[in-house]
Structure 1
Amino acid sequence: MTTPPRIAVVAHRKKSLGGGLDELRRLIIDEGVDDLLWYEVPKSKKARKKARKAVREGADLVFVWGGDGMVQRCMDALAGSDAVVAIIPAGTANLLASNLGIPRDLPEAVRIAFHGARRRLDLGRLNGEHFAVMAGAGFDAEMIGEADRDLKDRVGRLAYVWTGLRHIKDGSVRTTIHVDGQKWFDGDASCVLLGNVSTITGGIRAFDDARPDDGWLQVGVTTADGALQWARTLGRMITSRSERSPFVRITRAKKIKVRLDASVPYELDGGDREPTRRLKARVVPDAITVCVPVSD
């Protein structure tokens, strides 16, 4: 007789979707689960410890309730393990879920977890932490780091646009980027972005050729400076391929090193980190298994 998988839930209790955590519990129990591990956290920073505890307790399938910040913390903890991740997109930003086709529909997201496909994904690893969607330094991180949390709850992605407008005039930083051991960029840059998927903050398709299971990270650098150049750059991202902008360069790599002449903040999957002058990143192939919709 096949042993049923052990189920765990790691939930950001301040995030909401559908009928909330009570409905999530009911939907899981309705699938015949009678031995449910349940962990709630008040902030995503505490999720990593709970995800590791779930694996120690024997969890085979871990539901992650929240946004990209929650998912990033849990995937950082679960990378390399045999646990399968079921994403329940209850956050303000759910970029990984949308890139994978997981809807903001609680019953459907749970159905995918139990009856959908399993997809092995790459992760990026930057300065010691895994990320699933993107990592960035400069304009991108400033925009995310200062987006007021209450404003994000009220207006969602528009919060990033609002704060981004305040940072357009912050200027560029001398930047050197090595990809797979070779110098690729040396000059002034306003944003450095690493992508594991195509669509990033604000729903912008920054990396047209990105796939989260191809063994590569996309690397982008933007030299746009000032409102006019940034408007042209974002417009090209929205209407065409990003690399067609004269202010954007894109390549792909397995290992990336970035040196900055000044300390700037950086971000991982929408979560801001302390300023740094060095970024060291690499792709981690086949790092995590995620529940996804069945392909047609």
Structure 2
Amino acid sequence: MRAILILNPFAGTSVMAETHQSEESNEEAILRGLRSYGIEPEVQYTTPEDAGKGLATKAADEGAELIIAAGGDGTIHAVASGLIERKSTLGIIPMGTMNNLAHSLGIPLPIEAACAIIAKGETRAIDVGKINDQVFIEVAGIGLEAALFPAAEAIKSPGVISTVHGVLNGLLTLLNFKPTKLKISFDDNTHHTYEAIQVTICNAPYYGAHFQVAPDIIMDDGELDVIIYRQFSKLAYIQHAISISQGRRVFQPKIRRRRVKSLSISSNHPVEIQADGLPHGHTPARVIVTSAALHVRVPTINTPGLHEGPELPGAQESSLLAGSQNKQ
């Protein structure tokens, strides 16, 4: 079995990371963990020019069966986007600040435990979403959240000036943002108009700052969960976001939720769009789900974001292959 490790060399070194180590110790720990199961990967590193998608696509085209992404959500999303509707399987070693996809799939944070899932877990096929021409693994959003993303990125950037600039821009965006009428078509057959401050389209239970707008989201049901914040004031929306980030769930009758395979959204004036935390233009938007588009290694039990079900063909073979290599 040919395995490729795509490593973000700077992941896990930030004091904000959930697992904090030096660059050298991270790589050493990953290789030690994989080798203990007989997996000897070729190591490739992300760069500012290629966050992982190009490396993953090339590796898949060259026949690599297992492609392991080691880094934060940005790295894992980039690698995953290069493997959509391909035969290669994604392994995940979470080393970021939020690690949302790992949390959604029940993948543990310690490097040794994540390596064990890659070697001894099962392969499952999960859905991915697409908004216009941009793929998303976790969530796409239209409205206030997307408008605030540039300010949030500035706040996260190093340096006091960047942080202050981000805070000021965020406050200005918040003050100037106005809810708009959104015309939404669900599965091409039902049409509704909402005055909404935000529409969140979820493929995974976790996104952003560990938000769980709908904890029961399933990533292999062939549908997307659409959360519509209708007739919310900006203050009410912020209060709701803080509440769910802290795990509190107060009944909110102004929220509308639908499960769909596709939707189209138009608006009276252009509204910002984000996909997995990256700005992606403005409305109108066409959103679709691609079922079972990404193969990924997950735990055999306690996988919160998936239906209970059998492994895909070849999953057991991969596990046995790793075990046999370990015995040689």
Instruction: Write out aligned runs for 1:204-283 (5 A).
Output: 204-223=211-230, 225-234=232-241, 237=244, 238-240=247-249, 244-273=251-280, 275-283=281-289
Q: 1:44 to 1:15 in 2, by over 3 A?
A: farther
Which shows bigger deviation, 190-199 or 262-271?
Answer: 262-271
CA contact (8 A) 1:12 1:43 kept: no
Which one-letter code corresponds to 2:275 in the other structure?
L
Secondary structure of the equivalent of 1:204? coil
Q: Paired residue for 1:76, among 58, 78, 81?
A: 81
Q: 1:101 to 1:201 in 2, by over 3 A?
A: same
Q: Which runs of 5+ in 2 are unaligned?
A: 13-18, 303-328
Q: Distance in 2 between matches of 1:197 and 1:152?
A: 26
Indicate the percent of aligned positions where both proteins have the same amino acid: 23
Which shows bigger deviation, 55-64 or 65-74?
Answer: 65-74
- 2:36 aligns to what? 30
- 2:26 aligns to what? 20
Q: Distance in 2 between matches of 1:64 and 1:138?
A: 31
Secondary structure of the equivalent of 1:213? coil
Q: Distance in 2 between matches of 1:104 and 1:164?
A: 31
The Cα of 1:113 is off from its aligned counterpart by 0.7
Instruction: Write out aligned runs for 1:104-123 (5 A).
Output: 104-123=109-128
Which one-letter code corresponds to 2:73 in the other structure?
D
Rg larger in structure:
2
Secondary structure of the equivalent of 1:263? coil
1:295 maps to 2:301: yes
Q: 1:205 to 1:74 in 2, by over 3 A?
A: same
CA contact (8 A) 1:75 1:130 kept: no
Q: 1:144 to 1:66 in 2, by over 3 A?
A: farther
| Equivalent residue pairs, number | 284
Q: Distance in 1 between matches of 2:229 and 2:170?
A: 15
1 or 2, which has the higher strand percentage?
Answer: 1
Q: Paired residue for 1:7, among 3, 8, 30?
A: 3
Q: Paired residue for 1:94, among 84, 93, 99?
A: 99
The Cα of 1:218 is off from its aligned counterpart by 0.4
1:126 maps to 2:103: no
Q: Which runs of 5+ in 1 are unaligned?
A: none
The Cα of 1:110 is off from its aligned counterpart by 1.0
TM (normalized to structure 1)? 0.85
TM (normalized to structure 2)? 0.77
1:49 maps to 2:54: yes
Q: Distance in 1 between matches of 2:114 and 2:133?
A: 30
Q: Paired residue for 2:69, among 64, 71, 74?
A: 64
